[in-house]
C-alpha cells in the first residue's frame, strides 16, 4: 500500500471520528491534569466545554482544577493538541459513591451512543 493511500485512509478516519476521546479517572490531586499536559506537550490548562460544545469560563466552575472539582460531562481540550478530547472525573475518594455512579453512567451512555464522535475511545 502506498504512503498516499495510507495518508488518505487516515484522513478519512479522522474526518469520520473527529478526535480521540479519553476519560481519565483517579483520586483527586494525583496529577491527572499534569499527565494530560505532558501528553499534549503543554503547561497550559485546558479549555473547558460543556457537553453541547459551549466554552465554559473556568472562573464559573465551582472549585478549581487543582482541587479536582470536575463535571465528567465537560470536555477538556488543550490548544496544543485539539485532536484529543479529555473527560475528567471528580476523583474517587473513599465513600465517593455518588461520583462513582455518575462516572459509571457516563461510561454506559458513551458506550451506547450512536454518535461516533461522542463515544469514548479509551479510559485511563
Evaluate if residue 7 carries a pLDDT over 90: no
65-75 pLDDT, tens digit per residue, is 444 457 889 99
- The whole-chain average pLDDT of the chain stands at 81
Evaluate if residue 47 carries a pLDDT over 90: yes
Edge-to-edge strands of the sheet including 55-56? 55-56, 47-49, 75-78, 81-88, 20-24, 122-123
Please state, in angstroms and rounded to a whole number, the distance separating the CA atoms of residues 36 and 33: 5
- Report the pLDDT averaged over residues 46-65: 78
Residues 6+ apart with CB under 8 A from 99: 89, 90, 91, 92, 93
Q: Which three cell numbers stand for residue 46?
A: 485546558
Handedness of CA 14, 15, 16, 19 (dihedral sign): positive
pLDDT of res. 64: 44
Amino acid at each position: 500500500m502506498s504512503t498516499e493511500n495510507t495518508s488518505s485512509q487516515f484522513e478519512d478516519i479522522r474526518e469520520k471520528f473527529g478526535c480521540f476521546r479519553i476519560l481519565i479517572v483517579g483520586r483527586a490531586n494525583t496529577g491527572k491534569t499534569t499527565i494530560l499536559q505532558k501528553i499534549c506537550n503543554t503547561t497550559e490548562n485546558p479549555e473547558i466545554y460543556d457537553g453541547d460544545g459551549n466554552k465554559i469560563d473556568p472562573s464559573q466552575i465551582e472549585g478549581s482544577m487543582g482541587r479536582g472539582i470536575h463535571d465528567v460531562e465537560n470536555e477538556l481540550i488543550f490548544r496544543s493538541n485539539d485532536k484529543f478530547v479529555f473527560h475528567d472525573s471528580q476523583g474517587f475518594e473513599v465513600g465517593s459513591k455518588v461520583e462513582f455512579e455518575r462516572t459509571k453512567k457516563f461510561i454506559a451512555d458513551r458506550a451506547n451512543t450512536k454518535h461516533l464522535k461522542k463515544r469514548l475511545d479509551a479510559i485511563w
